[in-house]
Amino acid sequence: MNRNSVTQLVGKYIAIWNESDDGTRKALVDEVFAPNATYTDPNITAEGAAAIGEYIAAAQKNFTGMLFTYGAVLTHHDAVHFAWEVGPTGGAPVVSGFDVATLEGDRISRLYGFFNGY
């Protein structure tokens, strides 16, 4: 997968966190994550695309009215790293961190999320 494709994939991943429509969010999860993917952050380990989607939907309730954004995407081989933050549009972020993911073809197979200051 080339760098532009990986950056587009990260953009779709961040779009999942910003999507409030359940059907659209599920379609994005299925497009971004391999069916047997795992997602791990300090709060949870979710196994499978469906469980990842459920976690994101539940977590979104903590960020109502806020926007997730991401920074530079670094990639090599089948790995990707990027910083992210969430906060009110035009305001200071309330949470920030970075994710490290491994890819399987054109989808994420494993994602590890880290929160700054956690």
Note the pLDDT tens digit of each residue in 29-53: 999 999 999 999 999 999 999 999 9
Residue type, 102: T
d(CA 32, CA 29): 5
Establish how many alpha carbons lie within 13 A of residue 60's alpha carbon, considering only the half-sphere containing its beta carbon. Answer: 19
Amino acid at 58: A
> Residue 57: what residue type?
A
Per-residue model confidence as pLDDT tens digits over 56-70: 999 999 999 999 999
